A and B are shown apart, each in its own frame.
Chain A
């Protein structure tokens, strides 16, 4: 499925180039503004320039990899409206796997290696120990688990409501609040971003682990939230399937 998806995108070289340039520019612009802001202000919420940049890179890592893996989610709504989802349901493959990971994005694949190199470079400037690196990787994996849960919930939402176009974009807007440590937000927004839409657990906490700023209860809560999120998402998906009306097919 991913090979087919790559072939389609590579076949449109001009479109691929435009999107790739756009994504690189977007990263450079935000990175540049953040850098100059930190040069002027010295620090942000008590974090040094390198720490803030590491938060930003961790956000990008999770954002880009989830977009790479779950790009097909963005094409799901037309499938539901046209009734083409029927064709997925009758095939001997997990329907959830097909609509979640059936169209990996080659453009994001190109941007992942340089992003990983940048993350390793700025992470090394924070001089983490082996335990901190290990904790970062485990919490990052937990972040991906939560991101997966959100994408499954978005898919389920599309089946149940039909009308919603922007759900996945709202998820992305919410996660984009994690470009900076959630410590900058005031309550109750901070609590909202920690527990209800756990952007803090997805993005801020792994980055804090590298800096040695996490505690054992925080890590345990993070894993608990990850497990609860994925459990709820599967339950919601199963419920949503019972509401699929096969409209227009």
Chain B
């Protein structure tokens, strides 16, 4: 455990090596939130408007909720695994007396901790400037369920990232390309970080909800808002748990196959 604590601390400090870069990365997050915030603020300009099952308070809470949930779920370093594989640097880690999965999971947690601190500051500043109506969830069951969905979302994202990062075992030239396709395009669009999934027509909603992506952002925020409760909450949690299991088994299978074809190219 002590060695992973060491990895956590080093990884945390490493983020500060390029402070300006990190701050600019956070500034980029704020710009993304601003577009979403003002888009929905305009749609719900009339306080009595109710569409897609939201009122002004809940939709703006959804937007602010995205800031915190994104920091907790989508902040990660495990995408660097693909370059480790493509450049042969994976060999260095395989020789060390520690689990490669746990090493990157620890680094992810470190990244989440740092991003959460900054997201909390941004949340507070934007909250003071924009003064949005905010829905405070007080139901302990909903808050507990929200915590559970966040843990599942973190695991799903970690396994997804590792799976995508495993592609360079077979096709090293598309390491960044596959991350662009899955993490930048598909996850950004289908996780609910841009638009809540329930603005889609029923058939599209069902298709998207059958994938692991909405369980990263949309599902946790909806659970916080209390829009998903009772049997729908249990059903959603079961799907998220099922995806966590499927992705974990798939990752283990793919990783073992990958290690067999790994040639440490570039070393």
Contacts and interface: CB of A to CB of B under 8 A. Distances in A.
Interface of A: 12, 14-15, 18-19, 21-23, 25-26, 29-30, 32-33, 36-37, 40-41, 44-45, 161, 163-167, 169-170, 173-174, 176-177, 179-180, 184-186, 189
Given A14-B171, A176-B31, A184-B38, A22 B181 contact: yes
A189 B180 CA distance: 29
B180 A18 contact: yes
A170 B31 contact: yes
Interface SS majority for chain A: helix
A15 B171 CA distance: 9
A179 B173 contact: no
A37 to B, nearest CB: 6
Contacts of A186: 38, 41, 130
B24 A165 contact: yes
Nearest to A26: B185
A236 to B, nearest CB: 19
A137 B42 CA distance: 29
B32 interface: yes
B21 interface: yes
Contacts of B189: 25-26, 29-30, 33
B180 A166 contact: no
Contacts of A166: 21, 24-25, 27-28
B190 interface: yes
Contact of B181 (A25, A33, A41, A165): A25
B180 A19 contact: yes
Contacts of B201: 36
A101 B173 CA distance: 24
B199 A36 contact: yes
A45 to B, nearest CB: 5
A21 B181 contact: yes
A76 to B, nearest CB: 16
B35 A180 contact: yes
B21 A165 contact: yes
Given A22-B181, A44-B43, A167 B51 contact: no
Given A165-B24, A180-B35, A29 B185 contact: yes
Given A22-B180, A166-B21, A176-B32, 20 more contacts: A14-B174, A14-B177, A25-B181, A25-B186, A26-B185, A37-B199, A41-B43, A44-B39, A45-B42, A161-B20, A164-B20, A165-B21, A165-B24, A169-B28, A173-B32, A176-B31, A177-B34, A177-B35, A180-B35, A184-B38
Nearest to B26: A166
B251 interface: no
Q: Top 3 closest A-B pairs, CB basis?
A: A29-B189, A18-B177, A173-B31
Given A15-B177, A44-B42, A170-B31, A36 B200 contact: yes
A63 B43 CA distance: 25
Contacts of B178: 18
A49 to B, nearest CB: 13
B185 A25 contact: yes
Interface in B80-99: none
A30 B36 CA distance: 12
Interface in B142-197: 171, 173-174, 177-178, 180-181, 184-186, 188-190, 194-195
Contacts of B177: 14-15, 18-19, 22
B54 to A, nearest CB: 10
B34 to A, nearest CB: 7
